[in-house]
Structure 1
Amino acid sequence: MSRAPSSLSLIALLLAGAAITATAPALAAPASRPIAATSQIPAPETVLARLVRANAAQMAAMRAEPIPVTTGGAVREMSSNWVSATYYVGAARLARVTQDQDTLKFLTDAAEHYNYALRGAKSGKTMLNADEMAIGALYQELYARRGQEGVIMPLRQRLDWALPHLARLPIPEHLVWWWSDSLFMAPPVLARMSVLDGDRKYLDAMDKQWWRTFARLYDPDESLYYRDERFIERRDEQGRKLFWSRGNGWVMGGMARVLEAMPADYIQRPRYLMVFQTMAKRVAGLQRADGLWASSLMQPESFPEPETSGSAFFVYALAWGINHGVLDRATYLPVVLKGWKGLEAQVLPDGMIGAVQKTGDQPVATAAADIGPYGTGAFLLAGLEVMNLSKPVAALPLAEPPRDTPAFIAATTPTPALPRTVRGPEEEIRHATEMKAVAALAYDPLIEGPGLAPARAPAAAPGQPTPPKMIFRMAPPPPGQDQPRATVRYAPERYDDILWENDRTAHRIYGPALEQYEPPSTSGIDAWGKSVRYPFMTRQLRTGDQHAYHGEGIDYYNVKTWRGAGGLGVWDDGKLWVSRNWKDYKILKDGPDVASFKVDYAPWKVGEKREVWESRTVALPMGTNFTRMVSTFGSNAKGPITVAIGITKKPTADRPGDFQADKAKGAFTFWDVTDPDKGTMGLALLVDPRQIVDVVETDSDWLVLVKVTPGKPFVYYMGAAWDKGLDFHDRGEWETYVQAQTPDFNPARK
C-alpha cells in the first residue's frame, strides 16, 4: 500500500528518536553457545530465585537514576513510557507470586509519581499512541489489588476518549496501531478494562483495531508480522524478508495477555487462538542452536550474536501456551526449556538479563552487556511461565488477583516524607493531629456522594428488630472483604485504637495518641453493636461519624475513663487505681479463624507505695460473643493484688442499666437502658469463681474483685451483644446464652 510522502516523513520522524541504547560496559555474559535439548523442567524455586534477583537488580538500577521530567527517551530510569511499562508488567506479575512489599512499593512509587496518568496530552496522535497506554497495565494491577477508584480513573478517561477512533468506520487510511509493538502495549490494557469495568466496549474496540493491524502487517505465507508497512517489501540480497524478532515477540506476548482477559465465549477468540498457534509453530522452527532466536528471524547470520528481548517474549508466549492448554505440550516443551537455558546463559553477574537489543524498530547488533527494563520485564514473564510448567493446565480467562487487605495496602504504599517545615516533636504531633483531622472531616464521595445520602435504613425482616435511623449508608465492602472472619487491626488514623471483631461482636481499646488528643484516657474496653457477619469497624470509622448507624453497626457505648466492657484496674483501700492507655502492642493472628493480639500497660501507681504493670493477651475466635483475656500483673512489692474487672454502669444513658451477679458460677450480666432508636447493649463477664473476692459498686462501675498473684497469669472472658444485631433481640436470649457458656480458665491453654 502506498503512502503520501508527508505521511512517510512523519512516520520516519516518529521512529527516529527511538534508537537509544542502554549499555552496561562493565558487565559481561557468556558468549553464545549451543544448548543441548533437555526434558528436565527446572525446579520452580530455582527459577524464582533467579527472577527475584533480576527484579531486585532492575529496581536498584532504576532507583539509581534521576527521574527525568520528560520521559519519552528514558531507557534506564523510572518512567511512564513503554520501556519501563514493560518491566512493570513483569514485576507486577512476580509480586503476585512473592507478595514482595518492596516491589509493590516501587510500583506504587512509579504510579504515584505520574499521578496514575498517561503521556501524550500534546496531540491527538500521541493520545492514541499505544506506547503511552502501556503503563495502564500497572494502574490496572494496583486497582485490581486495592480497589481505589482514583487509580483507574485517568486511564479510563483516556481509553473512553480513544474508543471511537479505534472502532471508526469506514476504516481510515492510517491505522491507530500501525506497528507490531503496539499489540503488546495497548490491547491487553483495553481487554482487561472490560473485565475491571464489566463493559465489553473496550474489548470490542480493541478487537476491531487488532484485526485491522493484522490485515496490514501479518504475512500469511510466513506466519509472522512485519514491524510496520515500511518493511513489507524490503528484501536482502538473497531475497529474504525482514521479520524482527522482538516485533513478533511483542505480538505473541500481547496475544497471550489479551487472551487472559478475553471471555471464553467471545466470538473472535478462536481467531486469536488460531493465529497464536500458527505463529508458535513458525517461531519454534526458527529457534537457534543456542536456544535463542536471531534478531532478524529470516536472516540469522546477519546478527549472529545472542539477543534476549525477542527470545524472552517467545519463551514466555510458548510456555504460556503450554500452561493454558493452547499449545501441545510434547511439541513445545523442548523448545521452551531450550529457550530458557539460552536465556539463563545471558544472565549478567548482577542478576539482570543481558544481550537486550536497544530500543528501536528493527534488528541491529547487540552487545552481551546491553540491558533494558523491557528486557527484564520479558525475562520475568518468561520465568514465571517456566515455573508453572509442572502444574496442571490453567483455564482461561484468568481470574483477577484477590484484593489486598487494608494492612497490606498500607504496608506497600510509600509514605511521603514530612514537610520540611515539620521540625521537632511538637510540630510532628501537630502535623499528625492535622492529618487525622483531614481523614476524619473530609467529605467522602463513596459514602456521601450523589444518590447515597441521605439513606434510609432497610425495613426489618419478619421477627427482626427495626434498625436504627440512618443518616447515610456507607459503601459496601470491596469484593473478597464481605465474608465472615475474625480480624484485629491497629488503627493509627484513629489515635492508635486497636480494633477486633468476628462474625458476632466488635470491640476496641485505646492507644497512646488518644492520651494527647483526648486526655484523660484510660484502659477501658469499648463495645460496638454489629449487624453484619463480615468486618465493618474500619469502614465505620472512615465515615467520620462512627457514633451513627450506617447500615452495618454502631459505636454508641461510652467508655470515657470508666472500665467499659471488662476493663481492669487494681482495688486497694476502697479505691480503684487504673492504668493509662496501652503502651506496646503486637498482633499475634489476624484471622480468619481467630483475632489475637498482646498489649502491655506501663507501670501505674496503686496507693502510696505500690506500683504495678500488666501484660494481656486477647483472643476472639469466630462464632462467639466472648473474648478470652489472659492477664499477667507485675508489681514492685510482694504479696497478692486485688484486681477489679469492671462493667460501666451508665454507658448510654443518664441512669444505670441492670446488673446481675452469679458469684457461684462466675457469670455477671448487664442489660443497658434501651435507647428508643439505637437499641440496647448487653454485656457479660465470665470469671473463675475460685478467684472471686467480692463484687463492689462505685459511682461509675460494677467491679468483680479477684485475688491475683504477681507474675502468675489469670483468665477471664468479656462479652457483648446488641439487640438490633443478628443474634440476640432481648434480655432473656442474652442471659440464656451467657449461662450456657463453659469457659476454660486454664491460662496455659493456647
Structure 2
Amino acid sequence: MCRKLTALFVLLIPFQFLFAQNNLLKDFPEGFGPKEVGKRLAYRFPDKKHMLHAGKWISYPETFNWTGALKYAKLTKDKVLLSRLEERFEKLTSQEKQLLPIMNHVDLNMFGSLPLELYQITKDKNYFDLGMPYADTQWAVPQKASLQQKEWADKGFSWQTRLWIDDMYMITIVQAQAYKATGDKKYIDRAAKEMVLYLDELQRPNGLFYHAPDVPFYWGRGNGWMAAGMTELLRLLPKDNKDRPRILKGYETMMKSLKDYQRPSGMWNQLIDEPDCWAETSGSAMFSYALISGVKHGWLDKQEYAPVARKAWLALVPYINEKGDVAEVCVGTNKKNDKQYYYDRPRNVGDSHGQSPYLWCIFALLEK
C-alpha cells in the first residue's frame, strides 16, 4: 500500500508542477492582482491633463494610455469607465479638434489606432471613418516626400520609415488596428514586411536592438517598443503568413536575451546591458507584456518564462504611487550617439510613456 501511494505521488509531481506554472500568471498577492491594479491606472487616465506632442497634438504616449484604458474597460465590462473615456474623446473631436494629429509623421499617424479601438468596441462608424485615414496615409506618399521617403515607398515600405526602433510599435499598431477593423490582410501584411526590415537592420546577435543604426546602445524603452510591436503582430498574423517565422524567431531571440538581462529585482535597466544603470519602468513593463503574452499564447516555454514574467510584474507594481501614477519613467528620448545621454535622461512620475505599458500587462494577464 505504501509503495502504491509513493508511486502515485511521483506520478502527480509533474501535474502539480504544471498546475503551479499555470497559476504563476493568475494568482497574485493582495494589491498585485491585475484587475485591481488596472482599475487604479485606467480610472486615473480620464482625470489627467493632455500630454501633447510639441504642444500641438495628442501625443503617442497619451494615445496608448487611452487605448490601454479602453481595453481594460472592454475586458472587465466596465460601462462607467467606457462612458467616461468616450465622453473625453467626444470633446477631442468637437471642442478640441485642433489637438487631432495631422498625418505626416510616424509619431502622429499612430493616433488612428485609438478611434479604431473605439470602433471595435462600439461599432460606431464615425470612429472608423476617423481612424482609417491614419492607417492609409502611412503608405500613401505625399507630393512633398523626400527622395529617401519615395525610395522606401518604391520598395513597398511606409514612406515614414526611418529605422528608429520606436517605429515598430507606431507603425505596427495602427496597421494592426486597421486589419482588425476591416479584415483586409493588406494592413497586417505590410506591417509584417516592415517589421522584418527593422529586424534585419537593427537586431543584434544577442537579440537586442540598437536605438538606430548609428546609435549602438540598447535603450530600454526603445527595445520595449520592438518587443511590444512583435507581440502585436504575433497575436494577429495568420499562421501561413510568410513573414511570421522570421518575426517569431526575432521575438524568441529577444526574449531569451531579456531573461538573461533581468535584474535580480525583476526589472530591466534604462540601458539593458549596463549593470550600473538605473531600473526603468516603461521598458520593463513593455518587456513584461511581451513575456506574459508569449507564455499565454504558447510562443514561449511556460516552465522557463512564466517565472520571469511573474517576477517582472511583482517588481513593477510597487512603482505605482497612491494616485495611480507610475514612477521612474524615462522621458521622451530621441536617438543620440552618446551613452551618458541615456544615463542622464530625466525620470518622470505619471508620464503616459509608463502608464500605458502597465495597462498592456494587465490586458495580457486578464485575457483568457
TM range (shorter): 0.7 to 0.9
Q: What corresponds to 1:137 in structure 2?
A: 113
The structure with more strand, counted as a fraction of residues: 1
C-alpha distance 161-50 of structure 1, shift in aligned 2 (>3 A)? closer
- Structure index of larger Rg: 1
C-alpha distance 110-132 of structure 1, shift in aligned 2 (>3 A)? farther
- Contact 1:139/1:151, CA 8 A, preserved across alignment: yes
- Contact 1:191/1:206, CA 8 A, preserved across alignment: yes
Q: Does 1:155 align with 2:142?
A: no
Q: Give, in angstroms, the shift of residue 369 of structure 1.
A: 6.1
Q: What corresponds to 1:248 in structure 2?
A: 223
Give, as a single letter, the amino acid of the residue that structure 1 aligns with 2:58: S
Q: Give, in angstroms, the shift of residue 80 of structure 1.
A: 2.1
- Larger mean Cα displacement after TM superposition, 359-368 or 376-385: 359-368
Q: What corresponds to 2:68 in structure 1?
A: 90
Q: CA–CA distance in 2 between the matches of 1:364 and 1:120?
A: 31
When the two structures are superposed, what TM-score results if normalisation uses the length of structure 2?
Answer: 0.79
C-alpha distance 374-107 of structure 1, shift in aligned 2 (>3 A)? farther
- Larger mean Cα displacement after TM superposition, 324-333 or 352-361: 352-361
- Contact 1:353/1:371, CA 8 A, preserved across alignment: yes
Q: Does 1:216 align with 2:201?
A: yes
C-alpha distance 386-155 of structure 1, shift in aligned 2 (>3 A)? closer
Q: What corresponds to 2:246 in structure 1?
A: 271
Q: What corresponds to 2:333 in structure 1?
A: 360
Q: What corresponds to 2:14 in structure 1?
A: none
Q: What corresponds to 1:660 in structure 2?
A: none
Q: What corresponds to 2:34 in structure 1?
A: 47
The structure with more helix, counted as a fraction of residues: 2
Q: Does 1:99 align with 2:85?
A: no
**Helix, strand or coil for the counterpart of 2:242?**
coil
Q: What corresponds to 1:261 in structure 2?
A: 236
**Helix, strand or coil for the counterpart of 1:224?**
coil
Q: Does 1:202 align with 2:194?
A: no
C-alpha distance 368-194 of structure 1, shift in aligned 2 (>3 A)? closer
Q: CA–CA distance in 2 between the matches of 1:249 and 1:330?
A: 23
Q: CA–CA distance in 1 between the matches of 2:233 and 2:264?
A: 31
Q: What corresponds to 2:352 in structure 1?
A: 373
Q: CA–CA distance in 1 between the matches of 2:323 and 2:284?
A: 20
**Helix, strand or coil for the counterpart of 1:186?**
helix
- Contact 1:81/1:134, CA 8 A, preserved across alignment: no
**Helix, strand or coil for the counterpart of 2:189?**
helix
C-alpha distance 204-356 of structure 1, shift in aligned 2 (>3 A)? same
Q: Give, in angstroms, the shift of residue 103 of structure 1.
A: 2.6
C-alpha distance 198-58 of structure 1, shift in aligned 2 (>3 A)? closer
Q: What corresponds to 1:327 in structure 2?
A: 300
Q: CA–CA distance in 1 between the matches of 2:264 and 2:313?
A: 13
RMSD of equivalent CA atoms: 3.0
Q: Which structure 2 segments of 5+ residues have no match?
A: 1-22, 142-148, 336-341
Q: Does 1:182 align with 2:182?
A: no
Q: What corresponds to 1:73 in structure 2?
A: 54
Give, as a single letter, the amino acid of the residue that structure 1 aligns with 2:129: M
Q: Give, in angstroms, the shift of residue 387 of structure 1.
A: 4.0
Q: Does 1:168 align with 2:153?
A: yes
C-alpha distance 385-199 of structure 1, shift in aligned 2 (>3 A)? closer
Q: Give, in angstroms, the shift of residue 175 of structure 1.
A: 6.0
Q: Which structure 1 segments of 5+ residues have no match?
A: 1-37, 122-126, 233-241, 392-750
C-alpha distance 176-371 of structure 1, shift in aligned 2 (>3 A)? same
C-alpha distance 115-186 of structure 1, shift in aligned 2 (>3 A)? farther
When the two structures are superposed, what TM-score results if normalisation uses the length of structure 1?
Answer: 0.40
- Contact 2:331/2:347, CA 8 A, preserved across alignment: no
C-alpha distance 103-224 of structure 1, shift in aligned 2 (>3 A)? same
C-alpha distance 341-170 of structure 1, shift in aligned 2 (>3 A)? closer
C-alpha distance 101-174 of structure 1, shift in aligned 2 (>3 A)? closer
C-alpha distance 55-171 of structure 1, shift in aligned 2 (>3 A)? closer
Give, as a single letter, the amino acid of the residue that structure 2 aligns with 1:340: W
Q: Deviations over 1:76-107 (max 9, x none)?
A: xxx62102012122112111222223432343
Q: CA–CA distance in 2 between the matches of 1:172 and 1:317?
A: 25
Q: Give, in angstroms, the shift of residue 266 of structure 1.
A: 1.8
Give, as a single letter, the amino acid of the residue that structure 2 aligns with 1:372: D
Give, as a single letter, the amino acid of the residue that structure 1 aligns with 2:223: N
- Contact 1:85/1:374, CA 8 A, preserved across alignment: no
- Contact 1:43/1:387, CA 8 A, preserved across alignment: no
Q: Percent identity?
A: 25
Q: CA–CA distance in 2 between the matches of 1:103 and 1:356?
A: 25
Q: Give, in angstroms, the shift of residue 205 of structure 1.
A: 2.4
Q: What corresponds to 1:382 in structure 2?
A: 361
- Contact 1:348/1:369, CA 8 A, preserved across alignment: no
Q: Deviations over 1:187-229 (max 9, x none)?
A: 122123123212222223223322223333222x221111123
Q: CA–CA distance in 1 between the matches of 2:348 and 2:130?
A: 37
Higher relative CO (Cα under 8 Å, sequence separation at least 6) belongs to: 2
Q: Give, in angstroms, the shift of residue 317 of structure 1.
A: 0.6
Q: CA–CA distance in 2 between the matches of 1:231 and 1:49?
A: 39
Q: Give, in angstroms, the shift of residue 321 of structure 1.
A: 0.4
Q: Give, in angstroms, the shift of residue 366 of structure 1.
A: 6.6
